[in-house]
Amino acid sequence: MNSSDTSQLLQVAVKAVRDVAQKAFESRLANIAHHHRFELDGREVKLSLDTEMSAALTAGLAPSGISVVSEEAPHTHDVVDEYVWLIDPLDGSMNFLRGTGPSAVSCALLRGNDPVFGVVLDLSSGSVTWGGKGLGAFTNDSPIAATRVLSIDQAIVCTGVPAHLNTEDSDAIAPLVFLLKRARKIRMIGSAAMSLLLVARGSADFYAEEAIMPWDVAAGLAIVEGAQGTTWTSDISRSNPMAVAAGSAELVNAYRQERS
């Protein structure tokens, strides 16, 4: 894929993300009471809007001719094409339902399991952020950059407790406990995509989360790399929980050493 192809696909993704976000904006304005259900022992909420936005975003990406892997469409999770779109049409569903924090539309182009670029639309502000390794990172066309904080003790850290994390397993939660004990400040905002945008913009210094799903973080990881940050994942997957870290190389390495 050459730079011209990447540019064209980026335009397709930005338009598709902007268009599908209108569904969320319209439902919010209309104060629609969304049908929803709980999964994973009540730790994860699914809205009817999740499914509607997934279908709309998939349709918006169709002109690219590239298959879509969506959180909301399990039959797509085993797609093995070299290039795929990996999407989370509504990251932060509980925040959106209850108004407790940010939510976003998230879309990444993957080659194999590596993000080429990501596009994230903040449903609170309507701003669009995109980026990828070698492409830079931009919010509404203004360049953004990650910080170079070197020590966890000096870092503002974003993290979370995702639905797949086994909180009864002391080994599984040990990395989270490490952050709680060591970080200067901890922020849990309920959206992995938006947490990664805070790192890419330099508003936070580091993001790490255990047992998070790839569609929650793929776009944000690409954007952090475009913003000259460093990223790491524990697994290579399009549809299985994994550990993630993003920030300066020093912070990522410190986190990896702690959890090894």
pLDDT band at 2 (very low <50, low <70, confident <90, very high): confident
Strands of the sheet with 136-139, listed across from one edge: 67-70, 83-91, 104-111, 114-122, 128-132, 136-139, 142-143
Contacts (Cβ under 8 Å, ≥6 apart) of 24: 49, 53, 90, 96, 103, 105, 123
CATH code: domain 152-259 is 3.40.190.80
pLDDT band at 43 (very low <50, low <70, confident <90, very high): low
> Does the pLDDT of residue 212 top 80, yes or no?
yes
Domain extent listing, the chain = 3-143, 152-259
**What integer best gives the mean pLDDT of the chain?**
93
Burial class (CB in 10 A: 0-12, 13-18, 19+), 31: exposed
What pLDDT, on a 0 to 100 scale, did the predictor assign at position 40? 61
Bigger pLDDT: 133 vs 29: 133
Determine what percent of the chain is predicted with pLDDT higher than 70. 93
Instruction: Quote the pTM value.
Output: 0.94
pLDDT digits (tens, 9 = 90+) for 244-256: 999 999 999 999 9
pLDDT digits (tens, 9 = 90+) for 172-190: 999 999 999 999 999 999 9
- When mean pLDDT is compared across 1-10, 48-57, 210-219, 230-239, the lowest value belongs to 1-10
What pLDDT, on a 0 to 100 scale, did the predictor assign at position 16? 98
Fold of 3-143: Fructose-1,6-Bisphosphatase; Chain A, domain 1 (3.30.540)
Beta-bridge partner residues of 85: 68, 109
